[in-house]
């Protein structure tokens, strides 16, 4: 992941790294000038003044340049990384995303991406301080090889201790990263389960203390342990450095030639090295956290590589028929705690018909719908479009035939498939028909609000589905959250209107009193089709008037927004027709 980010900004990385190295070299040159000025005679010291001033300016310029460039790199890295993860998520198979869960994806986009990007901010310090430490060691070797070897032994001891601490600390940081994925899932529960938490105080307190609180504490504890081990290792390194300075001053330099210059040089260099060396060691935990975060992102995105060819942006073509022949799909069924096999399924869909898909909970209705619309690939059998098999080569193109509203649908705040104001007027007319105009409007291709009840949100999703103008529409228990007025309006008005426009509609429903509206009723039990009943009224359906105010009187409404007079002349048209 880090190599990918560096490759994305190779020129910027090289320039920033070069500036950091020059800043480090200038800093080493500066400290050698200071040591020379201390031991030289007054006349020689005056000659060093201009050189000293130029080196100070060079340190300032190179340091500021490197820091600014790496700040730019940090922001670019975060943007590139989030775009890469988001692209992988959009290309990932739906089943794979369902197994991962939203918490891990959000953790990667939010926290892990920031840690990886933060690594680029630490790079100028790593490079500059690394050059300073190496340069200082080279200078010390020129002063006294004997004392330099002793200094190298001290640094070696410190490195061994730090490597041991590293193996312990990284274990705790990796555990914290794993626990954080679960923590982000709990964060989502704060909003998704807000009503349930508010409704039950005991549940709220248990969630706050035993679930969320414990998870927060675990992540914090593991990170504190890991970072504390690093801090202890840094303290051990400082202790060795100051101990070595004392050893040079009082023991090692007693008999070396040019004693004053050697003692002042080693004491000055080692005191000067403390801060860069400590900064260098302190940057290693950040680099290791970035390494762990990068690994987590790699693991997350490893299974997200899509094998399908992407569809074009042109409007979907009309179809003649869709056939499912011996279709099978196997998945883990949570209710029975075992693997469930759907199929073999033999089914066909034709233009301009309404098909009801019915069955008990857990019978596989939604899974069958996802297979039909191309969200799940089948394990066996064939899915045919106009006689041609649907494969990875054309599955994405096949999916463009459908507009779906599943029970767990997501409502975007914009009509992303239509530009700007293209469908504002048509969409607002639909909102009036569905009695949503007093709560939400469409402006510049965006909804003014989505803060609605579930039933209202489904009506808003229906408007978006109409504006898509796809040949096939799939509704998964759409009427379940509607009051009786809009439930009747959906079955008696909306569905016949769609059929009159040549649309194919698959409705997953338990409302058996309206099955006569459909052309066929497909019954599913334990993953198999047990019957396909043809409606006795097939071909004779006509749009019926929606209930008037008298019929609606006394009926409850979702969020108390049932219309006083349900429209008797309501006709919702797709964008192309209404326009």
Question: Could you report the per-residue pLDDT of 96-105, keeping only the tens digit for each?
Answer: 777 776 767 7
* Every domain of the chain and the residues it spans: 2-304, 322-578
Residue 126 has pLDDT above 90, yes or no: no
Q: What is the pLDDT of residue 161?
A: 76
Closest CA relative to residue 443, chosen from 421, 419, 464: 421
pLDDT in the model for residue 476: 92
pLDDT tops 60 at residue 393: yes
The neighbour count for residue 10, using CB atoms within 10 Å, is: 9
Give residue 419's pLDDT.
Answer: 60
Q: Once rounded to an integer, what is the mean pLDDT over residues 165-192?
A: 80
Q: Omega before 428 cis (within 30°)?
A: no
Least Cα distance to 534 among 364, 365, 355 occurs for 355
**pLDDT at residue 258, as a whole number:** 67
What confidence score (pLDDT) does residue 578 get? Answer: 38
Look at residue 334 in the predicted model and tell me its pLDDT.
59
Q: What is the predicted pLDDT for the residue at 368? A: 93
Picking from 166, 82, 119, 124, the residue whose alpha carbon sits closest to that of residue 2 is: 119
- Name the 3-class secondary structure at 545: coil
DSSP classification of residue 509: -
Band the pLDDT of 138: cuts 50, 70, 90: confident
Confidence of residue 418 (pLDDT cuts 50, 70, 90): low
Between residues 190 and 390, which one has the greater pLDDT? 390
Read off the pLDDT of residues 194-219 as tens digits, 9 standing for 90 and up.
Answer: 777 777 777 888 888 888 888 888 88
> Which of 60-74, 346-360, 444-458, 548-562 is most confident?
346-360
Q: How far apart are CA 333 and CA 331, in angstroms?
A: 6
Q: What is the pTM of this model?
A: 0.62
pLDDT in tens, 213-248: 888 888 889 889 988 887 787 777 777 777 777 777
Average pLDDT over residues 72-80: 80
Return the pLDDT at 554: 32
Euclidean distance between CA atoms 140 and 246, whole angstroms: 16
Average pLDDT over residues 45-59: 85
pLDDT grade, residue 577 (50/70/90)? very low
* pLDDT reading at 144 higher than 70: yes
Per-residue confidence (pLDDT) for residue 276, from 0 to 100: 79
Provide the 8-state DSSP code for 414.
B
Residue whose token pair is 């190295």: 21
The confidence score (pLDDT) of residue 358 equals: 93
231, exposed or middle or buried, with CB in 10 Å at 0-12, 13-18, 19+?
A: middle
Structure-token match 């022949």, residue found: 325
Alpha-carbon span 437 to 450, nearest angstrom: 13
- Is 322 in contact with 369 (CB distance < 8 Å)? no
Number of residues that make up the chain: 579
* Tokens (6 digits) for 379: 């394990």
**Cα–Cα distance, 328 to 381 (Å, whole number):** 6
How far does CA 198 lie from the centroid of its chain?
28
Residue 157, classified by CB atoms within 10 Å of its CB into exposed (0-12), middle (13-18) or buried (19+), is middle
Q: With bands split at pLDDT 50, 70 and 90, how would you rate the model's confidence at 333?
A: low
d(CA 576, CA 502): 13
Helices (H), ranges, 314-382: 365-372
2: nearest Cα among 120, 84, 83: 120
First and final CA of the chain: distance in angstroms?
48
Most confident listed range (281-295, 511-525, 543-557): 511-525
3-state SS, 428-484, equals HHHHHHCCCCCCCCEECCEECCCCCCHHHHHHHHHHHHHHHCCCEEEEECHHHHCCH
Rounded to an integer, what distance in angstroms lies between the CA atom of residue 171 and that of residue 154?
A: 27
Longest dimension (CA), the chain: 114
Please tell me the CATH code under which domain 322-578 is placed. 3.40.50.300
User: How far, in Å, are 4, 68, 115, 125, 188 from residue 81 at the CA level?
Assistant: 9, 20, 11, 22, 22
pLDDT at 424 (0 to 100): 81
- Work out whether the CA dihedral 125, 131, 132, 133 comes out positive or negative: positive
Backbone angles phi, psi at 29, to 5 degrees: -60, -40
Confidence of residue 326 (pLDDT cuts 50, 70, 90): very high
What is the Cα Rg of the chain in Å? 35
Q: Confidence class of residue 537 from pLDDT cuts 50, 70 and 90?
A: low
Predicted pLDDT of residue 259: 67
pLDDT > 50? residue 119? yes
> DSSP secondary structure string, 511-537?
-GGGGGGSSEEEEEETTEEEEEEEPTT
Across the chain, what does the average pLDDT equal? 78
Structure confidence by residue, pLDDT tens digits, 467-517? 888 899 999 998 888 888 888 989 999 999 999 999 999 999 988 889 989
Question: What values do phi and psi take at 38, rounded to 5?
Answer: -70, -40
pLDDT range class, residue 544, cuts 50, 70, 90: very low
Structure confidence by residue, pLDDT tens digits, 271-310 = 777 777 767 766 776 777 777 777 877 777 776 766 677 7
Contact 277, 125 (CB under 8 A): no
* Strand bridging mode 446-447 / 442-443: antiparallel
Which fold does the domain 2-304 belong to in CATH? ABC transporter transmembrane region fold (1.20.1560)
* Of 530, 492, 493, 522, residue with least CA distance to 506: 522
Per mean pLDDT, which of 18-32, 352-366, 530-544 is the most reliable?
352-366
Q: What gap in Å lies between CA 85 and CA 94, rounded to an integer?
A: 15
**What local confidence, expressed as pLDDT, does residue 551 receive?**
33
Instruction: Using pLDDT thresholds of 50, 70 and 90, give the confidence band for residue 538.
Output: low
pLDDT at 130 exceeding the cut of 60: yes
Average pLDDT over residues 376-382: 90
pLDDT at 255: 65
Share of the chain above pLDDT 70, in %: 85
What pLDDT, on a 0 to 100 scale, did the predictor assign at position 496?
92
pLDDT at 36: 79
């Amino acid at each position: 992941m880090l190599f990918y980010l560096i490759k994305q900004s190779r020129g910027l990385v090289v320039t920033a790294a070069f500036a950091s190295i020059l800043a480090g070299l200038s800093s080493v040159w500066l400290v050698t000038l200071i040591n020379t000025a201390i031991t030289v005679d007054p006349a020689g010291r005056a000659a060093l003044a201009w050189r000293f001033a130029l080196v100070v300016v060079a340190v300032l310029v190179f340091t500021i340049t490197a820091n600014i460039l790496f700040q730019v790199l940090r922001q670019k890295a975060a943007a590139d990384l989030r775009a890469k993860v988001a692209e992988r998520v959009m290309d990932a198979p739906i089943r794979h995303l369902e197994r991962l869960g939203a918490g891990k994806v959000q953790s990667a986009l939010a926290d892990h991406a920031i840690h990886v990007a933060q690594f680029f901010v630490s790079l100028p310090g790593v490079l500059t301080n690394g050059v300073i430490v190496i340069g200082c060691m080279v200078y010390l070797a020129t002063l006294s090889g004997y004392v330099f070897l002793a200094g190298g032994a001290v640094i070696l001891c410190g490195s061994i201790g730090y490597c041991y601490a590293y193996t312990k600390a990284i274990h705790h940081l990796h555990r914290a990263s794993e626990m954080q994925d679960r923590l982000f899932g709990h964060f989502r529960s704060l909003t998704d389960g807000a009503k349930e938490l508010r409704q039950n105080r005991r549940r709220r307190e248990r969630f706050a203390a035993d679930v969320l609180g414990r998870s927060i504490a675990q992540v914090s504890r593991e990170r504190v342990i890991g970072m504390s081990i690093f801090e202890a290792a840094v303290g051990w390194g400082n202790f060795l450095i100051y101990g070595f300075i004392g050893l040079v001053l009082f023991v090692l330099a007693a008999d070396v030639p040019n004693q004053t210059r050697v003692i002042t040089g080693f004491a000055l260099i080692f005191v000067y090295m403390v801060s860069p060396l400590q900064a260098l060691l302190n940057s290693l935990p950040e680099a290791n956290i970035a390494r762990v975060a990068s690994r987590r992102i790699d693991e997350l995105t490893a299974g997200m590589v899509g094998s399908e060819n992407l569809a074009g942006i042109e409007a979907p073509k009309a179809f003649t028929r869709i056939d499912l022949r011996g279709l099978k799909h196997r998945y883990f069924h949570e209710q029975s705690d075992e693997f469930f096999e759907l199929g073999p399924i033999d089914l066909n869909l034709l233009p301009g018909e309404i098909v009801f898909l019915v069955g008990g909970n857990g019978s596989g209705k939604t899974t069958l719908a996802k297979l039909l619309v191309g969200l799940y690939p089948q394990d066996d059998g064939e899915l045919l479009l106009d006689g041609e098999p649907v494969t990875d080569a054309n599955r994405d193109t096949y999916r463009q035939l459908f507009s779906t509203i599943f029970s767990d649908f997501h409502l975007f705040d914009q009509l992303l498939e239509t530009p700007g104001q293209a469908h504002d007027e048509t969409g607002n007319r639909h909102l009036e028909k569905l009695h949503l105009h007093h709560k939400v409007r469409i402006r510049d291709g965006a909804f003014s609000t989505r803060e609605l009840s579930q039933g209202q949100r489904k009506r808003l999703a229906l408007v978006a589905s109409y504006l898509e103008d796809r040949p096939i529409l799939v509704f998964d228990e759409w009427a379940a959250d509607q009051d009786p007025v809009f439930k009747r309006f959906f079955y008696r008005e909306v569905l016949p209107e769609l059929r009159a426009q040549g649309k194919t509609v698959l409705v997953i429903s338990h409302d058996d009193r309206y099955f006569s509206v459909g052309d066929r009723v497909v019954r599913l039990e334990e993953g198999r089709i047990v019957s396909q009943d043809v409606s006795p009224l097939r071909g004779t359906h006509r749009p019926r008037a929606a209930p008037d105010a008298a019929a609606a009187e006394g009926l409850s409404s979702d969020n108390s927004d049932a219309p006083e007079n349900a429209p008797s002349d309501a006709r919702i048209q797709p964008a192309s027709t209404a326009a």
